[in-house]
Amino acid sequence: MSNPIILAGQDNSQTIIDSLTQTLALTDSIEVKKRILTSLSVQYCYEGNWLKHDQIIQEMFLLQEEEADSAYLADTYNRLGISNSLKGNNKGSIENFQKALMINQARGHMFGVSASYENLALVYEGMGEYSNAVECLLKSIEIKKEYNYSRLFNIYIKLASLQHLLKTEKVDYYIALARQELKKMDNIKPADKVVFYNELSVIFRDREMYDSSIFYSRNMLRLSKEINWNYGTAAGLGNLAEVFYKTGDLDSSIVYHRYSLALSEGISDCSGITEEYLYLAKLYKELAKNDSVLFYANKSLQKAKECDLLPSQSEALKFIADYYSSQNDTELAYLFLQEYYILKDSISSTDVKNHIAEMEAIYQSKVKEQQIDLLTAENEINSQRLQVSFLTLAILTILILLILYVFYVRKRQAKFKEDKLKQQLFRSQMNPHFIFNVLGSIQNYLYKNQAQIATTYLARFSFLTRSILSNSLKESIPLEEEIEILKSYIELEKMRLNNSFEYEILFDEDLETEFINIPPMMIQPFIENAVKHGLKELKENGKLSVAFVDKKDLLEVVITDNGIGIDESRKLNKSGHKSMALSIFSQRMQIIRKYSHKIPEPKIEDRSVYGMQGTLVELSLPILN
């Protein structure tokens, strides 16, 4: 039987609920309303009245919004997580417990963090993820040790139970720690005792210490009835039923499982209902009541699917497959066994094709055993034909999966290569465009018969061309190298414009330009625009500034000039010509953003809005180290 979740509350009698509801209607105090709503949620949770419980939770959320109380919000998420867990909504339960965990971590409330870890452990246990459950409980217990927490014994006994499920040697170690903590306590809540007794009952039952198991189960029933806790009662009845089953008293086992099932259905305990259906199916199989076997087994499978309980689905599928196999219905046995291994794969995250192969091998082995005992020579031949068909189907399935996987990998590789080629293409598009502008300047000096200047200009251009060719196929280059290329380009433009402007390149002394890599030739188009559409129109006293700022994963580049500005430049550019270099920059950035989504768009502004002359450009580039 599933372990009952601990709920701190009192008797859930209608008298208490009526009294709380009346007080809630009469009070205007926010703090009083919070306490009453919390108590009502506990009472309805005890009853399993989820409609009322969820209505109360929504009121708690609304009250928190009015008061902005993070502690109350965390508690509300915890309570919603508990109700989701009890209803079988494991995904919703984990989401709500994690929200509570993050709120408590943010407010530094370590006791609340510990409680969230403990709640998460209970959900992971119900999902069959025992290692995750152990990890959460260990985190919880380390925090609660510092607070001398009174319920440490229950966390230790839960760890013992999980170690028992994992089949480790630490079971007795944690049982001893639990008993040691229990001796320190004077007053223990009945609900805490029920949980403690439940774990011991299961462990002793599995160890075939049936008298001890019955002793703890009966104590569970006594205490659960005292506090009217149906979860504890259902768990105790289920434990007794299992002991009777193991000792051969099948009729008594059926009676107790039916009692437990009725209680679980009354409180909508998905996990408990699923388990009880399957227990009854197993018992009726032992009694050879075939109609009842499939009825309860299918009910268990249906409920497990409805509540998304993957381990329970897996257990039910395996039971049904084995049952059909025992009835010599190999076709249905195979279908359920196949679904079982596919589901098992989704739980353990193992490769699909290995599971299919293992499933086929087990299935074929069972068929061969049945052939030896049950079938004639003619049936053996037919069965062998059937085996070949199933084997062929399995092989084809594996091949199809492999083909689809290879196709997917190749498609991803092709997409990566395509993006890489596009980057290279865009760089190669930029290079001829840049070369065209520089050669135009050199040609201008040759027309004026200024050979010495043209020679100097050509030498600088030679250095620049070599640098561009060298970097054209690189994904990134050091910032130091990019700065040198920019200096060469600006010097060439400055010389071409008869030294009508000055420039500066600024960066912090701590900026390690030799170790920071960026995409090549991304800054030059903006400097080109600053010179040709801003500073070109000035005859003297031009000023160009390029500043670099390290923003962790991004490099911010700020380019300013005191040219004629964007608005005036647009008036002079009557042809409406758009910069090819900026167009290529935009296309390159689209590809880069596929891998670095946080890069903002470039910012280009006329400095006149700040009462200054010229243009301001701010762009961010990814640091590709």
* 142 CB-near residues (< 8 Å, 6+ apart): none
| Average pLDDT of the residues in 88-116 | 86
pLDDT classification of 349: cutoffs 50, 70, 90: very low
The H or E element containing residue 444 is: helix 377-447
pLDDT classification of 367: cutoffs 50, 70, 90: very low
Whether the predicted pLDDT of 467 surpasses 80 = no
Whether the predicted pLDDT of 110 surpasses 70 = yes
**Is 401 inside any structural domain?**
no
Q: Is this structure's pTM higher than 0.75?
A: no
* Strands 603-606 vs 615-622: parallel, antiparallel or unpaired: antiparallel
Last residue of a domain, one of 118, 134, 149: 149
Residues linked to residue 560 through DSSP beta bridges, in sequence order: 545, 616
| Average pLDDT of the residues in 205-229 | 89
Whether the predicted pLDDT of 364 surpasses 50 = no
**Is 79 inside any structural domain?**
yes
**570: closest CA among 617, 523, 537?**
537
Residue 71: per-residue pLDDT: 82
Residue 503: per-residue pLDDT: 94
**Is 259 inside any structural domain?**
no
Residue 435: per-residue pLDDT: 67
Total domains in the chain come to: 2
| Average pLDDT of the residues in 24-28 | 83
Residue 483: per-residue pLDDT: 92
Please report, for the domain that includes residue 535, its CATH number: 3.30.565.10
Last residue of a domain, one of 109, 124, 149: 149
Whether the predicted pLDDT of 368 surpasses 50 = no
**Is 407 inside any structural domain?**
no
Domain housing 105:
1-149
pLDDT classification of 79: cutoffs 50, 70, 90: confident
C-beta atoms surrounding 325 within 10 Å? 20
Residue 359: per-residue pLDDT: 42
% of the chain beyond a pLDDT of 90: 9
Most confident of 19-23, 550-554, 594-598, 618-622: 618-622
Residue 54: per-residue pLDDT: 84
What are the tokens at 363?
């299935």
CA distance 52 to 83: 11
**Is 198 inside any structural domain?**
no
Question: Which of 4-13, 55-64, 402-411 has the lowest average pLDDT?
Answer: 4-13
C-beta atoms surrounding 115 within 10 Å? 22
Whether the predicted pLDDT of 378 surpasses 80 = no
Q: What's the mean per-residue pLDDT of the chain? A: 80
Residue 430: per-residue pLDDT: 47
Q: Residue 617 — φ and ψ, nearest 5°?
A: -125, 130
**Is 72 inside any structural domain?**
yes
Please report, for the domain that includes residue 88, its CATH number: 1.25.40.10
Residues linked to residue 548 through DSSP beta bridges, in sequence order: 507, 557
Q: Residue 618 — φ and ψ, nearest 5°?
A: -125, 120
Residue 3: per-residue pLDDT: 45
Question: Which of 303-312, 332-341, 357-366 has the lowest average pLDDT?
Answer: 357-366
| Average pLDDT of the residues in 164-187 | 86
**Is 601 inside any structural domain?**
yes
Q: Decide if 529 contacts 604 (C-beta within 8 A).
A: no
Residue 374: per-residue pLDDT: 55
Last residue of a domain, one of 118, 149, 180: 149
Q: Decide if 245 contacts 205 (C-beta within 8 A).
A: no
Residue 358: per-residue pLDDT: 37
Question: Which of 111-125, 331-345, 391-405, 411-425 has the lowest average pLDDT?
Answer: 411-425
Question: Which of 174-183, 295-304, 412-421, 476-485 has the lowest average pLDDT?
Answer: 412-421
* Strands 542-551 vs 603-606: parallel, antiparallel or unpaired: unpaired
Question: Which of 311-325, 381-395, 569-583 has the lowest average pLDDT?
Answer: 569-583
| Average pLDDT of the residues in 453-467 | 79
Angle, helix 330-348 to helix 310-326, in steps of 10 degrees: 160
| Average pLDDT of the residues in 422-437 | 54
Output 196 or 450, whichever has higher pLDDT. 196
CA distance 161 to 198: 10
**Is 564 inside any structural domain?**
yes
Q: Decide if 493 contacts 442 (C-beta within 8 A).
A: no
pLDDT (tens digit per residue) in 224-254: 888 888 888 888 898 898 898 888 898 888 9
Q: Residue 57 — φ and ψ, nearest 5°?
A: -60, -40
